[in-house]
Amino acid sequence: MSVKIAVPKGHLEEQTVELLQNAGIGVTSRNERQLFVRTSDPEIELVFVRAEDIPDFVAKGATDLGITGYDIMCESGGDVIELLDLSYGFTRMVVASREESDIKSLRKIKAGARIATEFPNITKRYFAEKGIKIELVRLTGAAEIAPLIGVADLIVDVTSTGTTLRAHGLRVITTILESSARLIANKQSLQKKRAKIDDIVTAMNSVVRARGKKLMVMNVPEAKLEEIKRLMPGMAGPTVSRVESTKPMLSVQAVVDEAEVYKLVKLVKRAGARDVLVLPIERVLP
CATH code for the part of the protein at 3-90+180-210: 3.40.190.10
Please report the pLDDT score of residue 232 as a whole number: 79
CATH code for the part of the protein at 213-280: 3.30.70.120
At residue 170, what are phi and psi to the nearest 5 degrees?
-110, 155
Tell me: pLDDT of 29 over 90: no
Contacts of residue 121, Cβ cutoff 8 Å, sequence gap at least 6: 74, 75, 76, 77
> Where does the pLDDT of residue 236 fall: very low under 50, low under 70, confident under 90, or very high at 90 and above?
low
Structure confidence by residue, pLDDT tens digits, 155-178 = 999 999 888 899 999 999 999 999
Extents of the domains making up the chain: 3-90+180-210, 91-178, 213-280
Tell me: pLDDT of 269 over 80: yes
Tell me: pLDDT of 246 over 80: no
Question: Mean per-residue pLDDT for 1-18?
Answer: 93
Tell me: pLDDT of 5 over 90: yes
Same-fold call for 3-90+180-210 versus 213-280: no
Tell me: pLDDT of 125 over 70: yes
At the top level of CATH, the class of 91-178 is: alpha beta
Give the pairing type, strands 65-69 and 213-221: unpaired
Please report the pLDDT score of residue 67 as a whole number: 98
